[in-house]
Amino acid sequence: MKARILVSRAVFPEVIARLAQHFDVSSNQADEAWTPLQLIQKLQGKQGIFTTGGERIDAALLAACPELKICANMAVGYNNFDLDAMTAAGVLATNAPDVLTETTADFGFALLMATARRMAEAEHFLRAGQWTRWRYDLFAGADIHGSTLGILGMGRIGQGIARRGAHGFGMKVIYHNRSRLDAATELGCKASYVSKEELLKTADHLVLVLPYSASSHHAIGAAELAQMKPTATLVNIARGGIVDDAALAAALRNKTIAAAGLDVFEGEPKVHPDLLTVPNVVLTPHIASATLPTRLAMANLAADNLIGFLLNNKPLTPLNAKVLI
Ligand code: GLV
């Protein structure tokens, strides 16, 4: 008998078709928003779930879904999973790393450039019919080339951004991370390890690429923003909650820093109302990995994890492999 799985959000029809070759699939191609209780109801009798990063998998859900064996996230971040609770319940968690690294690093760089060169503000000005003549300082921003790029969180995506900055734009790259990279990786990225304090004080542009956890909650708040240069830009493509959005809006309004580019928000898809009223911030709706080829590769990797595990006990990218033994 085929295992039963739930795909909790709309995804590529070809991925649903692949899954249907192996499983009895319940899907949500209408992309309805389910409450946690509805998710539990839909999961009854299912052995697997394909999640997209927003669905909370915690002890309460696991207790109510005793047949569940695997949750496969179509995202590299997995802060929607209570990994300890999943491990305790013997439920496998998988994520979708690597396939999105370069696409996400491209976007981080694009958001950095749009922020430093004030592209969103300038476009709004033009669309509003306010462009009447040239001015020497019209939307004058900050240079990217030759400046100092700071990266907080130096995993695969952080390294991709470092390579783009160092090799493409002649930037000096500094980083801070839980652990220092080995010498060969640092050399490949032309990146130097510094303390968090040094990073905040020295970076002309600071990009956040660290995973969200209790210890990274509000890693950038009022105190950290106050240590940055008044000309600095801040880019967050990591997770909402890493930045204190209210403190950031105040810092942008007071010109504590020059500008910010944000792809992720505390409590998204809601955005802190103060961020919507400051001009010097570029806002995008969590799209850093959003190219069609990359999103398809992420969906296929989540599907491969379900197929590999439920058919052969061999997931590709397990997060808690100890449940396999
Ligand atoms: C996107 O935010 C991801 O974690 O893949």
> How does pLDDT run across 107-118, given as a tens digit for each residue?
999 999 999 999
Give every CB contact of residue 164 below 8 A, 6+ residues apart in sequence. Answer: 105, 106, 109
**The model's pTM:** 0.96
Q: What's the pLDDT tens digit per position in 77-104?
A: 999 999 999 999 999 999 999 999 999 9
- Is any atom of ligand 1 closer than 6 Å to the C-beta of 153? no
Q: 209: closest CA among 257, 249, 266, 161? A: 161
Q: What is the pLDDT of residue 147?
A: 98
- DSSP annotation of 322 reads G
Q: Are 149 and 199 in contact (CB under 8 A)?
A: no
- Is any atom of ligand 1 closer than 6 Å to the C-beta of 289? yes
Angle value at C-alpha 17, between 49 and 39, nearest 5 degrees: 25
Take residue 241 and report the two structure tokens written for it.
């909650």
- Is any atom of ligand 1 closer than 6 Å to the C-beta of 157? no
Mean of pLDDT values over 105-131: 98
- Cα gap 263→141, rounded to integer Å: 20
Same domain for 265 and 116, yes or no, is yes
Q: Are 269 and 244 in contact (CB under 8 A)?
A: no
Same domain for 76 and 112, yes or no, is no
CATH code, 157: 3.40.50.720
Mean of pLDDT values over 123-151: 98
Percentage of the chain modeled with pLDDT above 90 = 99
pLDDT confidence tier of residue 65, bands split at 50, 70 and 90 = very high
Measured in angstroms, how far is the CA atom of residue 129 from the centroid of ligand 1? 37
Mean of pLDDT values over 53-74: 97
| Cα radius of gyration rounded to whole Å, the chain | 21
Measured in angstroms, how far is the CA atom of residue 100 from the centroid of ligand 1? 8
Same domain for 135 and 257, yes or no, is yes
* Element (DSSP H or E) covering residue 202: helix 196-202
Q: What is the pLDDT of residue 94?
A: 98
Parallel, antiparallel or unpaired: strands 48-51 and 23-26: unpaired
Tell me which residue range forms the domain holding 119: 101-283
Same domain for 69 and 137, yes or no, is no
| Residue 325 clears pLDDT 90, i.e. is over it | no
Q: What is the pLDDT of residue 150?
A: 98
Q: What's the structural domain count of the chain?
A: 2
Q: What's the pLDDT tens digit per position in 148-166?
A: 999 999 999 999 999 999 9
Ligand 1 atom closest to residue 73's alpha carbon, by position in its atom list: 5
Amino acid making up residue 8: S
Check if 123 is active-site.
Answer: no
Same domain for 16 and 148, yes or no, is no
Check if 239 is active-site.
Answer: yes
Mean of pLDDT values over 293-320: 98
Strand order through the sheet with 70-73: 23-26, 3-7, 48-51, 70-73, 92-94
Take residue 304 and report the two structure tokens written for it.
């491969």
Q: What's the pLDDT tens digit per position in 199-242?
A: 999 999 999 999 999 999 999 999 999 999 999 999 999 999 99
Measured in angstroms, how far is the CA atom of residue 314 from the centroid of ligand 1? 23
Three-state DSSP class for 151?
Answer: strand
Same domain for 277 and 302, yes or no, is no
Same domain for 205 and 112, yes or no, is yes
Mean pLDDT of the chain: 98
Percentage of the chain modeled with pLDDT above 70 = 100
Same domain for 46 and 127, yes or no, is no
Same domain for 242 and 305, yes or no, is no
Q: What is the pLDDT of residue 249?
A: 98
Q: What is the pLDDT of residue 68?
A: 98
Give every CB contact of residue 199 below 8 A, 6+ residues apart in sequence. Answer: 150, 152, 174, 175, 176, 206
Same domain for 313 and 233, yes or no, is no
Same domain for 23 and 128, yes or no, is no
Ligand 1 atom closest to residue 96's alpha carbon, by position in its atom list: 5
> Which of 239, 266, 272, 295 is the catalytic position?
239
Same domain for 118 and 258, yes or no, is yes
Q: What is the pLDDT of residue 301?
A: 98
